[in-house]
Structure 1
Amino acid sequence: MCGITACVAEGDVVDELLTGLANLEYRGYDSSGIAVPRGEADVSVLKRSGEIDALREAVAETVPAGSIGIGHTRWSTHGPPTDENAHPHTDCTGTVSVVHNGIIENHETLREELRQRGHEFTSDTDTEVIPHLIEEGLDDGRSTDEAFRRAVDRLEGSFAVVTLCGGEGSLYATRRGSPLVLGLDDDRQFLASDVPSFLEYTDRVVHLEDGDVVEVGPAGYRVTDTDGDRLPREPTSVDWQPEDAERDGYEHYMLKEINEQPQALDRTVRGRIEDDGGVSLSSFPPGSFDGVSDVQFVACGTSYHAALYAREHLVESGVRAHAFRAGEYATTPTPVTEDTLVVAVTQSGETADTLQSIRHARDEGARTLAVTNVVGSTAARTCDDALFIRAGPEIGVAATKTFSSQVTALSLLGERLVEDLTGSPSEDRAERAAAFRRLPSDLTRVLEDSTVADLADRYRDRDAYFFIGRGVGHPVALEGALKFKEITYEHAEGFGSAELKHGPLALVTEETPVVAVFDGRHEEKALANVEEVRARGAPVIAIAGEGSRKVRELADEFLPVPDTHPDALGVLANVQLQLVSYHVADLLGRSIDKPRNLAKSVTVE
């Protein structure tokens, strides 16, 4: 959730550190800081709570410089967001500085041991024990590499750590459960939590694995295992462009990424749908899932809603399928056998709860498959197989284009699963395939014709907002409510339409807009649910195919989408909901790209 950046170069690296921190703002943060060498032995640390602009001002006043440095954006876990708790943290001598993501579970025990040996602490963070442990190793006469390894051996929990020691020309880093990537330029080397940190400088990356220890210096890098043996970690190129991580004239990343969905979906489906409606997944030819008896999806947040969406098609087609919240999957025993396929849905491929679920499934003997956006991510490398959604980088904390691409990629995977597990394709395979092939152009129409901006002004000040739907409309309603609460900070809840009468209807008043998603199936039942809330005076905002005359006549507000197959219509409806959330949040003056208390990638459990 926090962001690490680091750089080694021939010249001054302060600008690169500040750029890297700014590029990682989307991960969520409440403070930031940098450290560069000062003199021959110690380091200069500047850190500030609040926005990165506060750090920039401090840098402008003191003008630090160095050809090696580390930086960090912190999202508070241990201790409030203060200057003292911001990273980097140092040892007693001011020689060792450290940035860290994750949680050190045994930090209290280590802190007490260190205090008894005379160490003094200046923060409330779990991180601060690390530089003091390294300090002790150096005092014992060990090399920086040895002292770093010895300190890491004492740590329990999940973490990514980068350390800079005064007088050293190299950085030392490792990861265990938190992401860390290495970026390689001609005259610069980078370390970061995520590729966008250094994407404008290089697209050559090395994805570090758990337990890797890397030394990064001006001449290159060296990766070893915990015993010090060299590991062959070769660089790859990421298929992202620097401009993908820029706003490109849009006021917010979220609006840019909403409007990028036609292009993202074109990449998702390109080369994957055959003329007869079959799917062509290079890693999963026909028969790839022979022997699988049931499918279990594990995911969190928006990815969980995409998993629920995918489950609908499988169940309707006769495949046993369930969707589980990853945060509960490993702790609440679920029957898993070697015939079970566990599909981990994760945009970043680094979500801690989802990774824990994958490990649990593997321990139980299940086959695992990651559906993710990031090649080389931990999920992609941990699972037996991977399917990439090809959405490109997503900077806004609130997921938009990745949800659409997840649903589409999962729908294509679902067709392969149906054919392999049931022995025959979906009854309407050709129609479904044609609908998903048209999604990019249909989405373009939605974006061009949407009247949400006018509607948002009429409904921005209400008591609460309910989102309802049936079939794939249900996960779309859940996702619409999540997006609304994430960026507007207003109370919003999503329900299956039939659940209204089992409790939530008690909260419906004239000041409670109800957003109803119609996917083209079970329309009469869904209309009856809408009548229930209209009878209580609630205004109804309906999203349905443009030819849905009854829905248009019944609703107070109608947001049409192109008529298409129900499984694709939900994707179009979701885009209208994204626009509702965006425009209401904009009118309310919310921090749309960086909503309070939230982070883009949740890398702690």
Structure 2
Amino acid sequence: MCGIIGIISSKESKKLSEITISALKRLEYRGYDSVGVASLSSKGIEVRKAKGTVEQVTLKKKIPEMSGYIFLGHTRWATHGAPSDYNAHPHTDCSGRIAVIHNGTIKNFKELRAELESLGHKFNSETDTEVIPHLIEEFIKRGMDSFTAFKSAIKSLDGSYAVLAIIDGEKRIFFAKRDNPLVIGLGEGENYIASDIPAFLPYTKRILVISDGEIGFLTNTSVYIEDLNGNVVDVHKRIRIVDWDVETASKEGYAHFMIKEIHESPKAVRDTISSLMSDLDVVEKISEEIRQAERVIVTGAGTSYHAGLYFSLLLTREGITSIPLIASEYYNVKGKRGDLIIAISQSGETIDVLQSIRKLKSEGAKVVSITNVIESAIARESDYKIYMRAGPEIGVAATKTFTTQVASLLFLYSYAFGKDWKALKDADKEVEQAINATEGFAKRVGEELAKKQNIYYLGRGLSLPLAMEGALKIKEVSYVHAEAYPAGESKHGPISLVESGFPIVFINDGEMPELLKNNVMEMKARGGKIYMISVNRKLGEAELEIFLNSKFPALSISPVIQLIAYYAAVSKGLDPDKPRNLAKTVTVE
């Protein structure tokens, strides 16, 4: 996945280069192995790009010196072709009169490239994206006008994309979207288009979300969009005002976004629960669907899968046939009428989740989505939708969004099965208390675990998904190998690795303390060093035990495991906001 930004103005200036750079810094969470910028001025198109971060490439290529009335910017996470100067975007045609940036994957690029090369086109990179400017060039050669040539190029693509293109002599940015996010910002005498709202939020709060299959162009004063069938879209009906500002997407004095966003969890949970309480009609409809479903298939990827597994266990305890499904393994489940899919994705654009719901929906299932991004692809393709209100999350590792996912699912479960769902109006206080009471302990645990090579995270029952999330978090940001197991399963193999000093983190939500205590003693007998996160029932057998009282154990434990991972990363001198080889939103297979 990648971050893209386009800006078009009535005036040619160097100011647009500064706006482009600042936008790319806010998009860098989407990818950061190479960066590039294209400008279009009265002198034509100029491209400057290189391997490296936004800051490195800005200095190396002197991007602030660029001038123009249109700018495209791109920050890349490699999918086709290694991170390099020549694989960096933008890519151009043979003449250098067309420049393109792209987020996504083009499945048929090898066939298209072979055909274009047979027609005399010369390629300079290993990327799939480079076929796009050459396709546009080829169609223009055949007599098409610029927009028709762009549409013909897009129709030739098999895959996913958010594409921006500029053509010398045109005062337009052409765009197309399929399966990857793209949103327009409407300014005064200046318009913007980007992968995410924070890219242009300092300059406008008026936005227009582009839907799948739509194609069009942007001038400095207007927007033109066609749908899949070539019908003109009334853009005025789609304009809305965002209710948060760019400060929400800045560090606000914190050392990293990750720690800032952990501390934002109480507000995120409060806003999410408040939103659900004001939308009980939808919650009631979804609850009825859950109760009536023959099967409930809960799907997500990574952190979202762990939240879904927690929910699936709750449903199973109520006698509901529930299948927790890792989204990328969707082909192992055949959907049918009577199935209900609960699809969980922070971004609402996760390609694995999209593929899973499309397959299962085509086989007769209904879909409920839980996302953090309004009008995202997954939400649009769902029969029912729930929006978390976590606000933008910049850190690659999910923190406040995991906690709000759990809060959303707890609310839905409580409402559907007659539990005390109104008590969740105070859930934010439990989260805040957990952060305030445990941060010092979490720091100590994280610093100790950072020195280890291997860790086990163990839990039973509803603690298991939290143990899985704890292991994932510390792996993601501190690069320490960690595995999660059901605590009772550990004696069926994993315990063979335990020796003197081997660290084991037990997650104790207070539900099965005696059973868990047996597992603790088994590990201690082999020399394991025991760390414990306990809620409501203290075990007292750990080297270091973090203890909390809470009405909502999962919501209290969530920020603690995140804090441990954060401080483990920081103690090793790592940047937890940009873990290697990872990006925020996975929009490619």
What TM-score do you get using the length of structure 2 for normalisation?
0.95
User: Where does residue 111 of structure 1 map in the other structure?
Assistant: 113
CA distance, structure 1, for counterparts of residue 143 and residue 414 of structure 2: 61
CA positional deviation for 1:227:
5.0
User: Where does residue 590 of structure 1 map in the other structure?
Assistant: 574
User: Where does residue 325 of structure 2 map in the other structure?
Assistant: 324
CA distance, structure 1, for counterparts of residue 377 and residue 5 of structure 2: 19
User: Where does residue 492 of structure 2 map in the other structure?
Assistant: 502
Q: Which moved more, 1:133-142 or 1:583-592?
A: 133-142
User: Where does residue 537 of structure 2 map in the other structure?
Assistant: 548
**CA separation of 1:526/1:62 partners in 2, compared to 1, >3 Å: closer, same or farther?**
closer
Question: Is there any run of 5+ residues in structure 1 with no aligned partner, and where?
Answer: 274-278, 419-424
SS at match of 1:266: helix
Q: Give the alignment of 1:18-37 within 5 angstroms.
A: 18-37=21-40
> 1:504-541 deviations in whole A, cap 9, x for unaligned?
11112223210000111111111111111111111111
CA positional deviation for 1:191:
1.1
SS at match of 1:582: helix
CA positional deviation for 1:270:
1.6
User: Where does residue 9 of structure 2 map in the other structure?
Assistant: 9
The one of 577, 581, 584 aligned to 1:600: 584
- 1:192 equivalent to 2:180? Answer no
Contact 1:463 1:511 in 2 (8 A): no
CA distance, structure 1, for counterparts of residue 300 and residue 293 of structure 2: 20
CA distance, structure 2, for counterparts of residue 155 and residue 458 of structure 1: 50
CA distance, structure 2, for counterparts of residue 488 and residue 333 of structure 1: 34
> 1:564-588 deviations in whole A, cap 9, x for unaligned?
2xxx202211211111111010010
CA positional deviation for 1:195:
1.4
The one of 544, 549, 552 aligned to 1:557: 544
**CA separation of 1:337/1:95 partners in 2, compared to 1, >3 Å: closer, same or farther?**
same
- 1:471 equivalent to 2:464? Answer no
Contact 2:92 2:130 in 1 (8 A): yes
User: Where does residue 299 of structure 1 map in the other structure?
Assistant: 300
User: Where does residue 412 of structure 1 map in the other structure?
Assistant: 411
Q: Give the alignment of 1:433-582 within 5 angstroms.
A: 433-434=422-423, 436-450=424-438, 451-545=441-535, 547-549=536-538, 551=539, 553-564=540-551, 568-582=552-566
User: Where does residue 309 of structure 1 map in the other structure?
Assistant: 310
**CA separation of 1:433/1:497 partners in 2, compared to 1, >3 Å: closer, same or farther?**
farther
Matched letter for residue 561 of structure 1: L
**CA separation of 1:30/1:502 partners in 2, compared to 1, >3 Å: closer, same or farther?**
same
Q: Which moved more, 1:444-453 or 1:295-304?
A: 444-453
- 1:348 equivalent to 2:347? Answer yes
CA positional deviation for 1:78:
1.2
**CA separation of 1:265/1:333 partners in 2, compared to 1, >3 Å: closer, same or farther?**
closer
- 1:379 equivalent to 2:375? Answer no
SS at match of 2:280: coil
User: Where does residue 421 of structure 1 map in the other structure?
Assistant: none
CA positional deviation for 1:28:
2.5
**CA separation of 1:134/1:280 partners in 2, compared to 1, >3 Å: closer, same or farther?**
closer
Contact 1:240 1:393 in 2 (8 A): no
CA distance, structure 2, for counterparts of residue 342 and residue 127 of structure 1: 33
CA positional deviation for 1:415:
2.7
CA distance, structure 2, for counterparts of residue 249 and residue 535 of structure 1: 45
**CA separation of 1:77/1:519 partners in 2, compared to 1, >3 Å: closer, same or farther?**
same
Matched letter for residue 461 of structure 1: K
CA distance, structure 1, for counterparts of residue 64 and residue 562 of structure 2: 43
> 1:252-310 deviations in whole A, cap 9, x for unaligned?
0000000011111111112645xxxxx96242336742643331111100000000111
Question: Structure 1 runs of 4+ off > 6 angstroms?
Answer: none
SS at match of 2:68: coil
> 1:450-470 deviations in whole A, cap 9, x for unaligned?
222233333321120110111
CA distance, structure 2, for counterparts of residue 207 and residue 256 of structure 1: 27
**CA separation of 1:280/1:60 partners in 2, compared to 1, >3 Å: closer, same or farther?**
closer
CA distance, structure 2, for counterparts of residue 411 and residue 174 of structure 1: 38
User: Where does residue 391 of structure 1 map in the other structure?
Assistant: 390
Report % sequence identity: 38
User: Where does residue 74 of structure 2 map in the other structure?
Assistant: 72
Matched letter for residue 396 of structure 2: V
Contact 2:92 2:133 in 1 (8 A): yes
**CA separation of 1:488/1:150 partners in 2, compared to 1, >3 Å: closer, same or farther?**
same
Contact 1:370 1:387 in 2 (8 A): yes
> 1:171-211 deviations in whole A, cap 9, x for unaligned?
10101122211111223211111112112222222221121
CA positional deviation for 1:322:
1.7
SS at match of 1:244: helix
Contact 2:276 2:283 in 1 (8 A): no
Q: Give the alignment of 1:88-237 within 5 angstroms.
A: 88-226=90-228, 228-233=230-235, 234-237=238-241
CA distance, structure 2, for counterparts of residue 197 and residue 61 of structure 1: 17
> 1:383-425 deviations in whole A, cap 9, x for unaligned?
111001111110000000000000110111123333xxxxxx2
**CA separation of 1:152/1:563 partners in 2, compared to 1, >3 Å: closer, same or farther?**
closer
CA distance, structure 1, for counterparts of residue 459 and residue 305 of structure 2: 16
SS at match of 1:71: strand
Contact 1:264 1:390 in 2 (8 A): yes
SS at match of 2:531: strand
> 1:318-373 deviations in whole A, cap 9, x for unaligned?
222221011011x2133x33221101000000000100111112101111111000
CA distance, structure 2, for counterparts of residue 503 and residue 581 of structure 1: 26
CA distance, structure 1, for counterparts of residue 288 and residue 449 of structure 2: 49
Question: Is there any run of 5+ residues in structure 2 with no aligned partner, and where?
Answer: none
Matched letter for residue 30 of structure 2: R
> 1:535-577 deviations in whole A, cap 9, x for unaligned?
11111110112x534x1x211111112232xxx2022112111
CA distance, structure 2, for counterparts of residue 372 and residue 180 of structure 1: 16
CA distance, structure 2, for counterparts of residue 225 and residue 441 of structure 1: 45
Contact 1:464 1:511 in 2 (8 A): no
User: Where does residue 254 of structure 1 map in the other structure?
Assistant: 258
What TM-score do you get using the length of structure 1 for normalisation?
0.93
CA distance, structure 1, for counterparts of residue 9 and residue 485 of structure 2: 53
Supply the RMSD in Å over aligned alpha carbons.
1.7
SS at match of 2:283: coil
Q: Which moved more, 1:455-464 or 1:380-389?
A: 455-464
CA positional deviation for 1:483:
0.4
CA distance, structure 2, for counterparts of residue 600 and residue 58 of structure 1: 26
CA distance, structure 2, for counterparts of residue 194 and residue 7 of structure 1: 14
Contact 1:3 1:74 in 2 (8 A): yes
SS at match of 1:24: helix
Contact 1:462 1:511 in 2 (8 A): no
